């Protein structure tokens, strides 16, 4: 009987340690409550392989709530892509061409807008949750992603067909610059 009690006590102690270990190291400040948002968090951050974005849409209509969420997420994704490609373009043109830098930057900038608009059609939804609030409205939580490799391929296709840019364009160097920038994003 004593062995059973000792084993039970040890099992309870082990369970307490395991459960205690699962709790977050950071405590929520007194008077505050942690909010868990579906389709968000580290699993939905941009990495060195994909651009990711998430958003919420709310409406009295299910379809409208989803449409709002997707539109917001796409806009966020497009802004992130444009910022990244602008940085890549600046780095690429700085290292590639000194005397034609301004002309190249202008051409890359206009191509950037065009390509981002074309590429957004390749977005994949990686998370979607629909809930109904206590007020009867609908909330849609979404997370979307776009392959960084697909984006670079689109740039290569478009830049390779522009006669003026083709002279100054080096795909390997552009991809290398792009990959370095994506590595930085994957570490944040």
Residue 73 sits in which domain range?
A: 36-187
How many whole angstroms separate alpha carbon 114 and alpha carbon 129? 31
pLDDT in tens, 75-100: 999 888 888 877 776 666 655 555 55
Taking only the tens place, the pLDDT of each residue in 27-47 is 888 889 988 899 999 999 999
Question: What is the average pLDDT value for the chain, to the nearest integer?
Answer: 76
- Rounded to an integer, what distance in angstroms lies between the CA atom of residue 184 and that of residue 188? 7
Asked whether the predicted pLDDT for residue 101 surpasses 80, the reply is no
Please check whether residue 162 lies inside any domain of the structure. yes
Q: Is residue 1 part of a domain?
A: no
pLDDT digits (tens, 9 = 90+) for 114-163: 666 666 778 899 999 999 999 999 999 999 999 888 887 877 777 667 66
Stretch (H or E) spanning 83: helix 62-96
CA 135 – CA 137 distance, rounded (Å): 6
In a domain, 27, yes or no: no
C-alpha span between 183 and 70 (Å, rounded)? 26
């Amino acid at each position: 009987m004593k062995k059973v009690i000792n084993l039970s006590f040890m099992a309870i102690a082990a369970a307490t340690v395991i459960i205690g270990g699962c709790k977050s190291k950071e405590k929520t400040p007194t008077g505050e409550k942690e909010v868990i948002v579906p389709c968000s968090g580290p699993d939905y951050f941009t990495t060195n392989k994909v651009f990711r974005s998430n958003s919420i849409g709310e409406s009295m209509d299910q379809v409208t709530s989803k449409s709002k969420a997707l539109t917001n997420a796409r806009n966020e994704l497009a802004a992130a892509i444009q910022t990244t490609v602008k940085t890549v373009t600046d780095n690429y043109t700085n290292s590639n061409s000194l005397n034609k830098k301004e002309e190249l930057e202008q051409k890359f900038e206009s191509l950037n807008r065009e390509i981002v608009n074309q590429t957004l059609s390749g977005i994949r939804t990686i998370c979607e949750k629909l809930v109904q609030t206590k007020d009867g409205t609908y909330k849609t939580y979404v997370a979307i992603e776009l392959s960084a490799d697909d984006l670079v391929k689109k740039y290569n296709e478009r830049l390779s067909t522009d006669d003026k840019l083709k002279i100054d364009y080096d795909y390997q160097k552009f991809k290398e610059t792009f990959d370095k920038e994506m590595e930085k994003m994957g570490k944040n």
